[in-house]
Structure 1
Amino acid sequence: MPRRTATMLASTLCLIALLCAAVLIRVPYAEMSPGPTYNTLGKVDGKQVLSFPGRKIPHRAYGGHLNMTTVRVTGSEYRMDLFTALHGWLSDDEAVVPHEVLYPDDASAEEVDQRNAEEFSQSQESAKAAALEELGEPVTARVVVQAVVADAPSEGRLNAGDVIRTVDGERVREPEEVARVVTRHEPGERVRFGIVPAERVKAAQKKGRDVGSLPVEQVTVPTEKAPDGRAIVGIQPGVSHTLPFPIDISLADVGGPSAGLMFALGIVDKLTPQDRLTGGAFVAGTGTIDASGRVGPIGGIGMKTIAAHDKGAEYFLTPAKNCSAAASHKPDGLTLVRVKSLGEALQELEKIREGDTADLSTCPAD
């Protein structure tokens, strides 16, 4: 065989071997890509994303968009090959990240789905409260049992949805206060909780009564030793709200907390007689929100700006702490608007509505 032919054959075989290795070698990475966006003012699968059962809301044509954005991610069991990782690193509309960024502590797919569902539910709760507070509607906050840890001392004694009125006789108004009182104890001691059971809370809400008017039931829960030696009871306290009227959010197959800001803006818009917010512009955005209206950062900002731009958005409401990352991957023609709170977002939307876009608080380019 001629030397030149042999060299070409050897090179070809080496290339094939390298390509096979790239396909077969698994690397500890996951992939993110732009996901679908949903207009909070519109419908998905024939149903309004935001509705207000039993309440008459202004009838008007909803001009413009307030789109929430999402990110697609590979599953927790997916193991990326080297070739796919290289392709993702070179792509502008995909992001390759360490597997533990999306799935910390080797969480199972079921655990990740459960966590995302809980975060999505909490984001809706906070969005409703923040929006109604902005509109001057009465909202009552209360500390609740958000979740009970399996096989923990509280299992069977406390339940998700129970309102926590007192701990060891002390009135609690913030979730952090529950942990503060519990951790005063030594492992093995008993803690007294004053609660309103979840079923009584639901009954009171159906009758339009304030949950605070219900009697408090005393229960005793033992503690056990946590890995770091602290006393625990095995619950995750959170905050729930009594709203003056029901608000339904209909959106399936979405998880995580990042839609909070856009849900809040959609609620404010729909409960306002005129087309108050967008003025007909296509606005998208993202950001967590708490009940006081503070906007927090999210993951996958670059993929969300691409998703918004591809859908037709002109403006993108961006959490202040995500501004730098968003600006470094900003699609052409998309204006990144920097916000720290629901109030700031409303102010920026007023500028868009009035055509004062030169005064927008934008994310500075790097």
Structure 2
Amino acid sequence: MNRRIFTLLAALIPILTLGIVGSVVTVPFVALGPGPTFNTLGEFDGKQVVDVQGAELKSASGNLNMTTVSVRDQLNIFDAFRLWIDGEHGLVPRAEVYPPGQTRDDVDKSNQQQFKDSEDSAELAAFNYLKLPTAVQLANVSDDGPAKDVLRKGDELVTVDGKHIVTAKDVVAAVSSVKPGTTIGVVFRRDGVEQTAEITLAPRPDDSGKGYLGITPDEISKGPVKVAFNLGEIGGPSAGLMFTLAVIDKLTTGDLSGGKFIAGTGTIDPDGKVGPIGGIQYKMIAAREKGAETFLVPAANCNEAAQRTPAGLRLVKVENLTGAVQSLEDINAGKDVPSCG
């Protein structure tokens, strides 16, 4: 009898030890997987996800869903193994998501700022596409730059060296084309009052031989139309494209979605260029599980997306905003569209 008990204990001890270790010890990995998906034409917590004010809104039905990636941290051995084999998650070294030297709070704040920046870019991209008014405002004036005693943060630029300013790139082009030491005229608007000043350009700090004002221009929307985005606790820049499409859909006649369930992802800049994102495979899974039949994919993500496309999901290749809108209109008309296949 004692021998049987001893044999049983000898067998159980490794199992119990493994169970304790597997439940307690964490692994240096995080699990990436499908995250929440939100209809940018709908509501979240009682508010419009994309709230457009100051204009007559058009009806917008169907879905234009933005997608996200979930991140699970502090995994024990059993959690990691279970998520690894379920087919919907992937394990990556924790340092890829939370770099050494940065706290989780630091990373979360950075992601939230990227999300805020994506909202601003989405608004500007939509305004530029719809030919709504924008302006170039100074986000910063360097303390040691040539403009420090003339311009202030918040000033709106009208012309620089006689060139009309519409975008931040216009400022760079106007200043860079003039040699250092040259005095140029600047027309700006402060507190609604237009003013004129002359500033002598300094050499750029990078020794490129180009002129330098020491300002940071920032393009902003202007006029009666205002846009608010009401999704909290989301991070990263990848909602830009879908936010932009929602603004356009609410301000133009006809449904971009055609009443269907469209999802997608992609960064966007004020000029409408669509950029790549991470975690495309998990976003496609999330979209398909919620009922999406079409997914807008940044062109740079097409090869990766085509390798792991969920069954029943059509991939549409998108390079820019104009192309995205055209593809949605062509889908509604039954025409062929660029694909990732």
Same-fold status (TM-score > 0.5): yes
- The CA distance in 2 between the partners of 1:112 and 1:315, in whole Å, is 31
- The CA distance in 2 between the partners of 1:216 and 1:4, in whole Å, is 97
- The CA distance in 2 between the partners of 1:160 and 1:331, in whole Å, is 49
Equivalent AA in structure 2 for residue 142 of structure 1? V
Mapped pair 1:362 → 2:322:
no
- For residues 306-331 of structure 1, what are the alpha-carbon distances to aligned partners after superposition, in whole Å with 9 as ceiling and x for unaligned? 11111111111011122232233322
Mapped pair 1:55 → 2:55:
yes
Structure 1 residues 116-125 or 8-17, which shifts more? 8-17
- The CA distance in 1 between the partners of 2:287 and 2:141, in whole Å, is 34
Deviation of 1:337 after TM superposition, in Å, equals 1.3
Deviation of 1:19 after TM superposition, in Å, equals 2.7
Equivalent AA in structure 1 for residue 340 of structure 2? C
Q: Conserved in 2, the CA contact under 8 Å of 1:41 and 1:66?
A: yes
Mapped pair 1:40 → 2:40:
yes
| Correspondent of 1:295 among 274, 295, 316 | 274
- Give 5+ residue unaligned stretches, structure 1: 182-193, 205-210, 219-234
| Correspondent of 1:252 among 199, 207, 231 | 231
Taking a change above 3 Å as real, the CA distance of residues 346 and 83 of structure 1, as seen in their structure-2 partners, is: same
1:327 match: 306
Equivalent AA in structure 2 for residue 133 of structure 1? N
Taking a change above 3 Å as real, the CA distance of residues 216 and 302 of structure 1, as seen in their structure-2 partners, is: farther
1:311 match: 290
Q: Conserved in 1, the CA contact under 8 Å of 2:122 and 2:269?
A: yes
Deviation of 1:173 after TM superposition, in Å, equals 4.2
Equivalent AA in structure 2 for residue 94 of structure 1? H
Q: Conserved in 1, the CA contact under 8 Å of 2:168 and 2:218?
A: no
1:273 match: 253
Mapped pair 1:71 → 2:66:
no
- For residues 250-273 of structure 1, what are the alpha-carbon distances to aligned partners after superposition, in whole Å with 9 as ceiling and x for unaligned? 323222211100011111111112
The count of residues paired between Structure 1 and Structure 2 equals 314
- The CA distance in 2 between the partners of 1:32 and 1:161, in whole Å, is 40
- The CA distance in 1 between the partners of 2:270 and 2:333, in whole Å, is 28
2:31 match: 31
- For residues 101-131 of structure 1, what are the alpha-carbon distances to aligned partners after superposition, in whole Å with 9 as ceiling and x for unaligned? 2222432233223222221121112112212
- The CA distance in 2 between the partners of 1:258 and 1:10, in whole Å, is 54
Equivalent AA in structure 1 for residue 251 of structure 2? L
Equivalent AA in structure 2 for residue 12 of structure 1? L
Deviation of 1:11 after TM superposition, in Å, equals 3.4
1:282 match: 261
Deviation of 1:7 after TM superposition, in Å, equals 5.2
- For residues 171-200 of structure 1, what are the alpha-carbon distances to aligned partners after superposition, in whole Å with 9 as ceiling and x for unaligned? 99449969x99xxxxxxxxxxxx9989xx5
Mapped pair 1:145 → 2:139:
yes
- The CA distance in 2 between the partners of 1:342 and 1:69, in whole Å, is 18
- The CA distance in 2 between the partners of 1:36 and 1:283, in whole Å, is 15
- For residues 233-280 of structure 1, what are the alpha-carbon distances to aligned partners after superposition, in whole Å with 9 as ceiling and x for unaligned? xx99563323333332332322221110001111111111222x1211
Q: Conserved in 1, the CA contact under 8 Å of 2:168 and 2:217?
A: no
- The CA distance in 1 between the partners of 2:320 and 2:251, in whole Å, is 19
- Seq. identity, %: 40
Q: Conserved in 2, the CA contact under 8 Å of 1:142 and 1:173?
A: yes
Deviation of 1:57 after TM superposition, in Å, equals 2.5
Taking only aligned residues, the RMSD between alpha carbons, in angstroms, comes to 4.0
- The CA distance in 1 between the partners of 2:77 and 2:331, in whole Å, is 45
- The CA distance in 1 between the partners of 2:227 and 2:314, in whole Å, is 31
- The CA distance in 2 between the partners of 1:236 and 1:105, in whole Å, is 33
1:17-28 mapped onto 2 (5 Å cutoff)? 17-28=17-28
- The CA distance in 1 between the partners of 2:156 and 2:70, in whole Å, is 36
Mapped pair 1:261 → 2:238:
no
Taking a change above 3 Å as real, the CA distance of residues 162 and 90 of structure 1, as seen in their structure-2 partners, is: farther
Mapped pair 1:343 → 2:322:
yes
Equivalent AA in structure 1 for residue 98 of structure 2? Y
1:84 match: 79
Equivalent AA in structure 1 for residue 115 of structure 2? F
TM-score (normalised: structure 2): 0.76
| Correspondent of 2:220 among 222, 231, 241 | 241
Structure 1 residues 90-99 or 6-15, which shifts more? 6-15
- The CA distance in 2 between the partners of 1:345 and 1:177, in whole Å, is 28
Deviation of 1:288 after TM superposition, in Å, equals 0.2
Taking a change above 3 Å as real, the CA distance of residues 116 and 81 of structure 1, as seen in their structure-2 partners, is: same
1:225 match: none
Q: Conserved in 2, the CA contact under 8 Å of 1:57 and 1:271?
A: yes
- The CA distance in 1 between the partners of 2:241 and 2:309, in whole Å, is 20
Q: Conserved in 2, the CA contact under 8 Å of 1:100 and 1:106?
A: no
